[in-house]
Chains A and B, each alone.
Chain A
Amino acid sequence: MTAQPLSAYPVLRPRSAQERAISRQLPEPLAYLLNGVRPSEKDEAWDRFIEDYTPLLLQVSRSVARDRDLAMDAFTAVLEGLQEDDYRRLRAFDANGPASFRTWLAVVSRRLCHDLVRARYGRRTGSPREEGLELRARLVDLVGAEIDLERLASRQPSPERTLRAAELTRALETALATLPPQDRLLLAMRFEEDVPVSEIRDVLGSPTVFHVYRRLRRVLATVRAELERSGIGGPTP
């Protein structure tokens, strides 16, 4: 998106010094849209806003709804949602906050698209807490398989093996919970989402994919070492 010269926008007169200060921090299309006084000024500012941000909003709509008709419905829903109640959602953008307007708009518009899809096709059952518990158990299983938890457990003779495996799983849950947040996010992206390493590199800000592989090995080695150090992976004391 390229910035339009000031002369491309209608001349608007913000109502107060505070509004003028906020206007200076907002992207120009948004500033003119939110501070327009007359309806005609807002209409023209809204046309300019759509012109500038339609490529991004279309990208969002298409990503949520692969079907072309649904994507266009989603795009319409986004525009309606942004206009609703005198641009209430757009006014919620914190110009003093750390987020850029473009990224914030992508997040908000994507949520509007999902609202449409959910309204049309229903939402998933299960509370967020249930989903969290289920995912935690799944991550433990996946990381446990990666560090060969079964082999750690199998050092014990049967019938202690089942008991040992349960002990190891609990210890693994504890070990994972004590990892730094970014390491836990790394494991979740790698094992739960199967996110490509190149994408993990971008999310975590790693210099190369090799740094990600190295970090992954180090985290798994740390978890494994923690299990063995706590006496879980060795002979019964």
Chain B
Amino acid sequence: MTHLSAEDLAAYLDATLAPDTRHAVEAHLAECRTCRAEMLETRRILRAHDHAPPRIRVLAPFAAAAVVAAVFLWPSGEPGSTPRLRTDAPAGLQESIAIIPVRPAAIGSATDPGSVTLAWDSVGPRLDYRITVVDAHGETVWTGTSTETRLTLPAEIEETGDSVFFWFVDATLETGEAATSGVQEFRIR
């Protein structure tokens, strides 16, 4: 089996190959683990290079959520097991990051039995809230923004096949301070 040329692999990563060449490259990638691993790893390198330090400022609210998540929630180490919640977060952490209080997720409604509605308390006027939903493996399955304090998730959330999800909502206050709900859990089955 001949491996992909640097030109073909690079053009595939750039998504600039002609359709017939792309099909041939994908047929090879489906069969050749070496080239597939090279494609995936090179893609990750380019993505990491793209997300250089200037973008860190934009991610500050998510960094806050990640810190709270690390404190309140961590995996038990067993594959497929349910992460445990902590209740003994250091006091200093709560003082430096504003907490967004949340309500329990509403699963199903009279008009839509499969709907999932998330709600939280307002922490300031005219804020843009960013909501992130991850599955039990930690993969982000949905993100969205809202100026309201409640949001109904798209029905496609069920397409993942999972029943346990985690979510958090972030915002940047007018003072520039980060606010986050911390990681919450909901189940749909």
Contact = CB atoms under 8 A, between A and B. Distances in A.
Interface in B29-52: 29-34, 36-49, 52
Contacts of B52: 55
A97 B39 CA distance: 18
A222 interface: no
A153 B47 CA distance: 44
Given A99-B14, A129-B1, A193 B40 contact: yes
Given A103-B13, A196-B139, A210-B159, A202 B43 contact: yes
B139 A132 contact: no
B7 A185 contact: no
A33 B32 CA distance: 35
A202 B15 CA distance: 11
Nearest to A203: B43
A197 B135 CA distance: 11
A54 to B, nearest CB: 11
B156 interface: yes
Interface residues of A, number: 48
Nearest to A183: B30
Contacts of A192: 33
A181 B33 CA distance: 14
Best-buried of B26, B141, B154 by chain A (most CB within 10 Å):
B26
A22 to B, nearest CB: 16
A209 B27 CA distance: 22
Contact of B42 (A97, A107, A209, A217): A107
Interface stretch (A3-11, A23-31, A39-47, A56-64): A56-64
A83 interface: no
B17 A189 contact: no
Given A97-B7, A210-B156, A103 B33 contact: no
B9 interface: yes
A202 to B, nearest CB: 7
A213 B161 contact: yes
A77 B171 CA distance: 45
B11 interface: yes
B16 interface: yes
A100 B10 contact: yes
Nearest 9 CB-CB pairs, A to B?
A99-B10, A184-B30, A181-B26, A181-B27, A210-B156, A98-B16, A104-B10, A99-B11, A128-B1
Interface of A: 55-56, 59-60, 63, 94, 97-100, 102-104, 106-108, 110-111, 128-129, 131-132, 135-136, 180-182, 184-185, 187-189, 192-193, 195-199, 202-203, 205, 208-210, 213-214, 217
18 contacts: A63-B44, A103-B42, A106-B42, A106-B46, A110-B42, A131-B1, A135-B31, A135-B33, A184-B27, A185-B30, A188-B36, A202-B47, A203-B39, A209-B141, A210-B141, A210-B154, A210-B159, A210-B160
